[in-house]
C-alpha cells in the first residue's frame, strides 16, 4: 500500500541560517520515526546549506518550483537539472504559483513531465478557489487540473507523481476542509486517475493541504484516500510539524 507522505512547504520564509537551524531541530525531533516519508521544501537559496545536515536522516528535500527548460535565457528561473542531486521532490503548480504568477495547467504539465524526465518526483498541486467551491464547480476544476496537468504522463511514471489537493480557500486561513470533504475530494481525484491509469491509481499518493495542524492531522490522515499532507504554516514550527509527521506514521 501507499506510504504516507508529509511535506513541509516553507514558502518564502526563513533565511539560510534560520533554515539550517530549523532542519537541525527537525532532524532531532523526528529521529527514529518510521513508516512515513518526510520532505521539507525550503527556498532555493537554502537548499545546499541544509543538505549536509540531512545526511543520514530520513528527511528528504524538495524544491518549491522549477522551470522546465534545461538552461538558457530565463532570468530568475531555476532549471530542474540544477536541482538534481540536491532534492528528491519538486512542488509544481502550487496555487500561489497559479494565482500570483499566472501558471496555467499547460505550464504545470510541462514542468511535471520535465521533473519526471529528470528522475525526480513532482508534487502536483490542484485545488479550487472559494468562488469555484461555492458555485459547485469543485469537481470540474479538479477533473480539469488533474487531466491537463498529467497529459502524456505514462503508466510507467504515474506512481512517481504525488497529487496535492489544496483547496485555495483553506490555505493559510485556519479553515481546513473537514476530513470528510477532504476525503471525498481526494477519492474523486483518485477516481479520475483510475479512468486513465486503471489500478495504478492505487499507487499514487494524494496529499491534502490547507491549514493542516497538529490538532486536525490525525483525523485528516485517518481517511483512506488521504495519503499525507502538504503543510505550510505548521511546517515552520518544529513541534507542530513533528506532530503531523507522527500522526501520519503507520
231 binds ligand 13P (CB under 6 A): yes
Q: Which of the following is catalytic: 25, 132, 166, 180?
A: 166
Q: Which three cell numbers stand for residue 100?
A: 500570483
Interface with ligand 13P in residues 154-173 (CB under 6 A) = 166, 171-172
Known catalytic membership, residue 25: no
Contact between 90 and 57 (Cβ < 8 Å): no
230 binds ligand 13P (CB under 6 A): yes
Distance of CA 47 to the CA centre of its chain: 17
Closest CA to 218 of 173, 169, 8, 226: 226
Q: Which is nearer to ligand 13P, 111 or 197 (CB)?
A: 111
Smallest gap from residue 151 Cβ to ligand 13P (A) = 23
Interface with ligand 13P in residues 84-123 (CB under 6 A) = 94
Size of the site for ligand 13P (CB under 6 A): 14
Q: Which of the following is catalytic: 94, 96, 103, 128?
A: 94
Element (H, E) at 54: none
Contact between 147 and 117 (Cβ < 8 Å): no
239 binds ligand 13P (CB under 6 A): no
What 8-state DSSP symbol labels residue 103?
-
Known catalytic membership, residue 94: yes
Q: Which three cell numbers stand for residue 131?
A: 468562488
Interface with ligand 13P in residues 210-229 (CB under 6 A) = 210-212
Q: Is 240 helix (H, G, I), strand (E, B) or coil?
A: helix
Contact between 89 and 60 (Cβ < 8 Å): yes
Q: Which is nearer to ligand 13P, 39 or 150 (CB)?
A: 39
Residues making contact with ligand 13P (CB under 6 A) = 9, 94, 166, 171-172, 209-212, 230-234
Catalytic residues: 94, 166
Amino acid at each position: 500500500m501507499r506510504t504516507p507522505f508529509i511535506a513541509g512547504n516553507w514558502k518564502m520564509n526563513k533565511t539560510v541560517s534560520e533554515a539550517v537551524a530549523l532542519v537541525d531541530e527537525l532532524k532531532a525531533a523526528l529521529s527514529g520515526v518510521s513508516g512515513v516519508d518526510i520532505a521539507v521544501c525550503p527556498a532555493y537559496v537554502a537548499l545546499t546549506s541544509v543538505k549536509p545536515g540531512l545526511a543520514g536522516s530520513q528527511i528528504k528535500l524538495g524544491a518549491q518550483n522549477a522551470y522546465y527548460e534545461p538552461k538558457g535565457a530565463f532570468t530568475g528561473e531555476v532549471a530542474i537539472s540544477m536541482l538534481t542531486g540536491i532534492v528528491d521532490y519538486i512542488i509544481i503548480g502550487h496555487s500561489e504559483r497559479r494565482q500570483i504568477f499566472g501558471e496555467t495547467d499547460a505550464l504545470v504539465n510541462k514542468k511535471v513531465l520535465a521533473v519526471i524526465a529528470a528522475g525526480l518526483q513532482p508534487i502536483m498541486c490542484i485545488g479550487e478557489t472559494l468562488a469555484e467551491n461555492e458555485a459547485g464547480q469543485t469537481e470540474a476544476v479538479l477533473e480539469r487540473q488533474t487531466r491537463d496537468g498529467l497529459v502524456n504522463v505514462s503508466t510507467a511514471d504515474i506512481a512517481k507523481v504525488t497529487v496535492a489537493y489544496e483547496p485555495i480557500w483553506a490555505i493559510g486561513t485556519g479553515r481546513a476542509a473537514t476530513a470528510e470533504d477532504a476525503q471525498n475530494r481526494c477519492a474523486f481525484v483518485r477516481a479520475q486517475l483510475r479512468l486513465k491509469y486503471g489500478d495504478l491509481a492505487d499507487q499514487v499518493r494524494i496529499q491534502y493541504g490547507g491549514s493542516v495542524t497538529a490538532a486536525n492531522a490525525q483525523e485528516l490522515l485517518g481517511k483512506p484516500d488521504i495519503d499525507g499532507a502538504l503543510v505550510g504554516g505548521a511546517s515552520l514550527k518544529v513541534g507542530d510539524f513533528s506532530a503531523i509527521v507522527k500522526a501520519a506514521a503507520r
